[in-house]
Amino acid sequence: MGIVVLLQRIGIVLVKILPQNLLDWLATQIGIACYLMLKKKRSYIQTNLKHIFYERSVSAAVLESHTRQTFVNFARAMIDFFRLDSITKEGFSVECLGFDNIGIALGYGRGCILVTAHIGNWDYAGAYLAAYGVPMSALVEVTDRRMFALYTNHREHTGMRTYTVDQAGHAFLHMIKGNRVLAVLADRDIMKTGIEVDFCDARRKIPRGLGRLIARKKVPVVFAYMVLHPDPKKGRYLGVIEKPIIFSGGLRKFHEWLVGKLEVLLRTYPDQWFVFHPEWID
């Protein structure tokens, strides 16, 4: 068994026996340790932050603080992910704004694309929506076989169905025919076949074909995200689901809309963007 899989299995056991405040303390310590030890990953996060904050001057101290907090927030989010294999509907701690927008989007009868990013806790968000009756599907990345099996069990516990990114065609068809919601993380080109777009002060690749399908099939799109709540008294997480949009313009219009939404989101929650990969095209 790989060390990462072993550590995650240990984490799954710990979340079932330890109180939340102790788990958060442990997550903070683990996050700080990873920040100190994982030099390459730390540099990727710092690069992300420099692009996010390109329009304003950010001191080295602030940059380091955001970088450190990114690792801590990721560890906290993983704790909640580890709970998903046994969580009940009542076990979610979420203030959700705009939940009814899902019903509005599905009212068109053509399914719905939920566009989000690798920010906050996207797996928790999908499981939450499924637990509350949303016919939920999601495109997911292929990882180590043992880790993938573990992740799939957690993601699908509350009823969400997952498809690997190379099954995107089947996922889109199932979404349309079954009038389901399909969640797509649109800030990374996982398949390495994406299209380049202007993003902040540089360029990145986003998934190819997403905008074309949305425009051609007139599929409603909602932009949504779930982040660690700025006000924990209102819930552990804040979920936001925006009103559905049906795009009638070309691909450029969709890409401009998507990038604009992502840039605002990342500037609002810079230390919850969990992309530990070098994907900028300078």
Q: Using DSSP bridges, classify how beta strands 195-199 and 202-206 pair: parallel, antiparallel or unpaired.
A: antiparallel
Residue ranges per structural domain of the chain: 3-272
Mean pLDDT of 249-253: 81
Each residue's pLDDT tens digit, 228-237? 999 999 999 9
Asked if pLDDT for residue 150 goes beyond 90, the answer is no
* 252 vs 18, more confident: 18
What mean pLDDT comes out for the span 74-80? Answer: 95
Average pLDDT over residues 108-131: 97
Beta strand 221-228 pairing with 237-241: antiparallel
For residue 145, the model assigns a pLDDT of 79
Q: What is the pLDDT of residue 3?
A: 61
184 or 146, higher pLDDT: 184
Using alpha carbons, select from 165, 204, 160 the residue that is nearest to residue 184.
Answer: 165
Length, in residues, of the chain: 282
Q: What is the mean pLDDT of residues 71-78?
A: 96
Instruction: Say yes or no to pLDDT of 156 above 70.
Output: yes
User: Could you give the CA distance from residue 77 to residue 106 in angstroms, rounded to a whole number?
Assistant: 29
**Terminus-to-terminus CA distance in the chain, angstroms?**
38
State the DSSP string of 162-206. EEEGGGHHHHHHHHHHHT-EEEEETT--TTS--EEEEETTEEEEE
